[in-house]
């Protein structure tokens, strides 16, 4: 229902989406809610909600629809209700009039005077964002207001550029701040108060040539890939729970958040089909071939934690806390190898696949595309950092090794991605690989 998206259910009124209620009006409605809870504290919640709807309907009518007479009598005269129902509503409204005096609208804030508090009063209960994301945005909006001395409604490309450059924000931090400003722009647009001129679509467009757009994975150098000896040394120093996560990332190239969010039913299905369903960045779904060692890890975790819906995340734990604990433990046990991060396990996984495909006679372009599909990259260019200008970017082995069943599963995943993206030339190349395996 539309009203469910608005935070307050009463903001959907007679077909109108009332994003533009003022903070004063929202506070008045909150005051009504508190009054209802106190005045009818002996009633069940359904009766309280019914009375709340009566009062809110009257207040919104008096603020938005009424012309001239805003009295309770004028309101009731417009209603085609039965005598008993009308008497019940009137009793509540007569009692309310002593406590909360309906007032006309306070006026809509001019765009130039909208502050972070205005957005909080309207959208803080809206499922457009999670509570964690929304209040993270609020902190950054207030940081901007404090730094510039201007209300949030005065967001302009120039002021945002000066803020980012003036605070010397790191690349990833700048991205987060820019996302919060784009979110503020969208919310002000829903209020009918979008800033003008609008912010550009990307941070690269805002900052110009000094900014190079890339994925977070591109900023990691090839030297960050774990070597097998480093992997075995560090895993031996980890706790049992952390070791399982690192082992799975080594075997399947999963991001840390993807490991903790694996669902039990997907793990069980992976043991049956030899393909693990993974929900990656941007909600993209991919299927990763399950290695024999990964299958052992799945069976071990399922048997050790039979009741968990998320087998790799402890009960009542949170994903971001589990990630922080593992990263802290890694930084403690890695010693002087400070270049090793969890994400380097994905680089190692990618390079092993590139080497395998090269030995099996797969051309450079196709093997990059296959690895891109397995890693869940939105753009194949991101995968180039794993193989660019190195031995893994060389020609395929001739004569090639035979294609393995694991490679065929990887080709199937790449084929589905190529078909979904409409890459006809790549589809033909992948189909030729499948035919070669059938010979």
For residue range 313-344, what is the model confidence (pLDDT) as tens digits? 888 888 888 888 888 888 888 877 777 888 88
User: How much is the average pLDDT of 293-307?
Assistant: 91
- Strand partners of residue 278: 286
Average pLDDT score over residue span 380-398: 62
Give me the pLDDT at residue 351, please.
Answer: 87
Across 59-63, 121-125, 318-322, 431-435, least confident range: 121-125
> What would the mean pLDDT of 13-21 be, rounded to a whole number?
44
Distances (CA, A) of 25 to 21, 156, 302: 6, 28, 53
Dist CA 403 CA 278 (whole Å)? 24
Confidence of residue 247 (pLDDT cuts 50, 70, 90): very high
Q: What is the pLDDT of residue 215?
A: 42
Which is more confidently placed, 51 or 101? Answer: 51
Q: Note the pLDDT of residue 438.
A: 76
Mean pLDDT value of segment 125-135: 70
Q: Decide if pLDDT at 277 tops 60.
A: yes
Contact 128, 90 (CB under 8 A): no
Q: What is the largest CA-CA distance in the chain?
A: 93
The ranges of the chain annotated as CATH 1.10.150 are 111-213
What pLDDT shows up at residue 97? 60
| pLDDT over 70 percentage in the chain | 79
Q: Please state the rounded mean pLDDT for residues 284-306.
A: 91
CATH of domain 218-439: 1.10.443.10
Does the bond joining 404 to the residue before it have cis omega, within 30 degrees of 0?
no
Is residue 362 within 8 Å of residue 437, measured between CB atoms?
A: no
Classify 111-213 by CATH class. Answer: mainly alpha
192: left (phi over 0), alpha (psi -120 to 50) or beta: left
The average pLDDT across 187-202 equals 76
pLDDT of residue 386: 55
Task: Round the average pLDDT of the chain to a whole number and report it.
Answer: 78
Q: Name the nearest CA neighbour of 138 among 194, 180, 173.
A: 180
Beta strands 275-279 and 16-17, pairing class? unpaired
pLDDT score, position 296: 94
- From residue 8, give the alpha-carbon distance in Å to each of 51, 185, 192, 254: 16, 21, 18, 39
Domain with CATH 1.10.443.10 in the chain: 218-439
Question: Averaged over 102-113, what is the pLDDT?
Answer: 52
Range ranked top by mean pLDDT from 37-41, 114-118, 289-293, 383-387: 289-293
pLDDT at residue 290 tops 90: yes
Mean pLDDT of the region 275-287: 85
Distance between CA atoms of residues 65 and 79, nearest Å: 14
Percent of the chain's residues with pLDDT above 90: 15
């Amino acid at each position: 229902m539309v009203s469910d998206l608005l935070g307050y259910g009463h903001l959907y009124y007679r077909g109108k989406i009332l994003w533009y209620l003022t903070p004063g009006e929202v506070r008045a409605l909150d005051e009504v809610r508190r009054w209802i809870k106190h005045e009818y504290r002996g009633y069940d919640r359904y009766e309280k909600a019914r009375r709340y709807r009566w009062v809110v309907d009257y207040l919104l009518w008096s603020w938005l629809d009424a012309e001239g007479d805003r009295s309770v009598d004028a309101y009731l005269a417009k209603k085609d209700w039965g005598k008993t129902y009308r008497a019940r509503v009137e009793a509540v409204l007569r009692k309310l009039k002593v406590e909360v005096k309906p007032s006309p609208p306070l006026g809509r804030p001019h765009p130039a005077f909208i502050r972070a508090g205005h957005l909080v009063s309207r959208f803080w209960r809206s499922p457009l964002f999670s509570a964690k994301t929304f209040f993270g945005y609020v902190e950054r909006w207030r940081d901007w207001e404090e730094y510039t001395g201007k209300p949030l409604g005065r967001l302009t490309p120039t002021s945002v550029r000066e803020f980012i450059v003036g605070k010397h924000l790191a690349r990833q931090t700048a991205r987060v701040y820019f996302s919060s400003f784009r979110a503020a722009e969208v919310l002000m647009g829903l209020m009918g108060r979008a800033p003008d001129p609008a912010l550009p679509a990307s941070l690269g467009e805002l900052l110009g040539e000094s900014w190079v757009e890339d994925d977070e994975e591109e900023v990691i150098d090839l030297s960050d890939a774990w070597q097998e000896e480093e992997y075995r040394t560090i895993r031996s120093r980890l706790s049992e729970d952390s070791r399982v996560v690192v082992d799975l990332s080594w075997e399947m190239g999963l991001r840390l958040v993807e490991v903790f969010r694996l669902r039990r039913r997907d793990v069980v299905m992976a043991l049956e089909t030899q393909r693990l369903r993974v929900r990656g960045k941007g909600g993209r779904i991919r299927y990763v071939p399950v290695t024999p060692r990964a299958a052992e890890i799945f069976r071990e975790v399922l048997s050790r934690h039979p009741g968990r819906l998320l087998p790799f995340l402890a009960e009542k734990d949170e994903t971001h806390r589990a990630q922080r604990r593992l990263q802290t433990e890694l930084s403690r046990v890695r010693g002087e190898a400070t270049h090793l991060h969890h994400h380097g396990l994905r680089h190692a996984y990618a390079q092993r696949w590139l080497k395998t495909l090269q030995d099996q006679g797969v051309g450079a372009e196709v093997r990059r595309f296959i690895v891109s599909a397995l890693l869940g990259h939105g753009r194949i260019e991101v995968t180039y950092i794993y193989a660019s200008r190195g031995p893994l970017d060389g020609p395929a082995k001739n004569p090639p090794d035979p294609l393995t069943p694991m490679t065929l599963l990887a080709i199937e995943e790449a084929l589905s991605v190529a078909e979904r993206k409409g890459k006809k030339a790549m589809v033909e190349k992948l189909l030729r690989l499948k035919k070669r395996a059938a010979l």
